[in-house]
Amino acid sequence: MSRTRVKICGMTNMDEVSHAVAAGVDALGFIFAEKSPRFIDPERAREIIATLPPFVDAVGVFVNEEPERLQEIVQFCGLTMIQLHGTESPEYCSQFQQRVVKAFQVGPDMAAEVLTPYEDVVSGFLLDTFHKDMPGGTGQTFDWSIVQKLQPAKPLILAGGLGVDNVGQAVAEVQPFAVDINSAIETEPGRKDPELITRLFEVLSS
């Protein structure tokens, strides 16, 4: 079985990005939703992304952004992937040249039919914890057994409150293609703890 890929989201700091790259991260997320406490200005994101080595994806995270504005940011920053956390339709997802990951908030009543219309237009599904006021970054886990009934047809990225203490169990139970780590390794929104980054990869490699 291949190893679980790791994306760390909500990056805002060059030193923390460098530490994550050195630790072995596969992808880094940059949040362009202005209401997010982890929002990063495109100018700053461009500076950081320009330093990334080959084979580390730069993922732009958007919430119901105007397509033209989204494409401008993608080109300006050099993003290699798009992650959508709003109510974007399959038609919306299909209009970009870059790979698209569509995020869904998982509640106890979520049905597999919600994912089906997106299967032909996205590269993967990110499953996060449902919160009525937040599109992501809740710091809370959801009932991972729900994933079994969803049986997504595209690679699954597991998110929602994952950190050093529970990521090993999450990978063992869900066996996702990748995990998306954010608030559980922070000292404050947008600032990652280098020690927790190191420990995260130690857990995943053990």
Res 139: pLDDT: 66
Instruction: Answer for the pair 24, 32: CB distance below 8 angstroms, yes or no.
Output: no
Q: What is the DSSP letter of 155?
A: -
Res 197: pLDDT: 98
Residues of the chain with pLDDT under 70: 1, 130-139
- 5-37 tens-digit pLDDT: 999 999 999 999 999 999 999 999 999 999 999
Cite the active site residues. Answer: 9, 128
Res 108: pLDDT: 86
The domain 5-205 is placed in CATH, from the list 3.40.30.10, 3.30.450.20, 3.40.50.300, 3.20.20.70, at: 3.20.20.70
> Could you tell me the pTM of the whole model?
0.94
Res 148: pLDDT: 86
Alpha carbon distance 95, 168 (integer Å): 36
Res 151: pLDDT: 86
